[in-house]
Amino acid sequence: MANSKNYILAIESSCDDTSAAVLCNTKVLSNVVATQEIHKQYGGVVPELASRAHQQNIVPVVHQALAKANIDKKQLSAIAFTRGPGLMGSLLVGTSFAKSLALGLDIPLIEVNHMEAHILAHFIEDETRTPPPFPFLAMTISGGHTQIVKVSDHFTMEVLGETLDDAVGEAFDKSAKLMGLPYPGGPLVDKHARQGNALAYDFPKPKVDGLNFSFSGLKTSILYFLQRETKNNPDFVSQNIDDICASVQYTILEILMEKLKIAVEQTGITHVAIGGGVAANSGIRGRLKEAEETLGWTTYIPKFEYCTDNAAMIGIVGYLKFEAGDFTDQSVAAKARYAIGS
Ligand code: KG4
Ligand code: ZN
């Protein structure tokens, strides 16, 4: 099997992106993502609307992925899909579709844990990057997740810490909302932060034991801070948006880097891989570069399209499991809560 070409169709529908990808072994032939714009007007993902949009998008997105890859469905070796974690209604669409197609084509079905996929996205073939060597530390930071994981091999992972409340992307988005910025506010906070003074305002950092995170307190302190300041000056936010964003971002990055440094110290592992939508943040990228120079870390960030939710990362896990002969029975059900390694 080593030299053969295996074509994997992968499906991701855990949150608000309907995505399908075709991989030939570790190479991505297509990776189509239909981002659901409907949630913007509500300032966050509305689960019921997400499921309906997946229902509408899934067939055209899969067709497009096959067409772009120039692969006929009869050539497929297996179907990989996100079983969880995520929104139940959204997961059900991808799970049911994947099961039906695998049954119809009489090919293996492969379940994938979305959080493992964010990490294994580093193993997608990319001539501009080398994947991290085992063992490495992976920090997944996105709108739905904040986790530090010790990765000993493709399928041996241990969660060292995770958020106890909001995800880091939520912290960005909710702070942005308080400043009147549109959803998702993370990229806008980043943009303003680049022009602001990170030490202009001081926000408290939460005291959380071990390697876990908490971001809900930050949101509350920003709310009180803005209420206080706008009472004296109604234009406070618009006049100081760059400095506020820079200070908020600085606090968030301090929280992330502090835990990451503890994880490196505790494990002695200096290969640090980042993934998830927040990995696009220019500040975190700068901090990682700094850690390479001052702390001797080696850091890894996949291409942006493989950081945000996408089916290519589901496909790479699909391929690795296909090689290992790790297939899934048709009785499988979606799993909204699905811890790594469970
Ligand atoms: O991975 P992703 O596309 O979807 C989830 O699985 O959640 O991540 C989206 C999150 C949003 O919270 C968005 O605001 C945040 O990533 N984000 C950023 C930046 N780009 C995206 N946060 C801070 N700075 C950025 N440049
Ligand atoms: Zn995700």
Tell me the per-residue pLDDT of 262-283, one tens digit each, with 9 for 90 and over: 999 999 999 999 999 999 999 9
Pull the structure tokens for residue 139: 């920090």
Q: Is 12 in the pocket of ligand 1 (CB under 6 A)?
A: no
In this prediction, residue 41 carries a pLDDT of: 82
pLDDT at residue number 341: 84
DSSP run (H or E) holding 255: helix 236-267
Would you say the CB of residue 140 lies under 6 angstroms from ligand 1? Answer: no
**Residue 94 counted as an annotated binding residue:** no
Instruction: For 16-31, give one letter per residue: b (16+ CB within 10 A) or e.
Output: bbbbbbbbbbbebbbb
pTM for this model (two decimals) = 0.95
240 vs 104, 229, 230, CA distance in Å? 58, 11, 11
Mutate to test the pocket of ligand 1, among 12, 142, 189 (most ligand atoms within 8 A of CB): 142
Tell me the per-residue pLDDT of 167-210, one tens digit each, with 9 for 90 and over.
999 999 999 999 999 989 999 999 999 999 999 999 999 999 99
3-state helix, strand, coil in the chain (%, to 5): 45, 20, 35
Q: Which numbered atom of ligand 1 lies nearest the CA of 176?
A: 14
Q: Is the peptide bond before 131 cis (omega within 30 degrees of 0)?
A: no
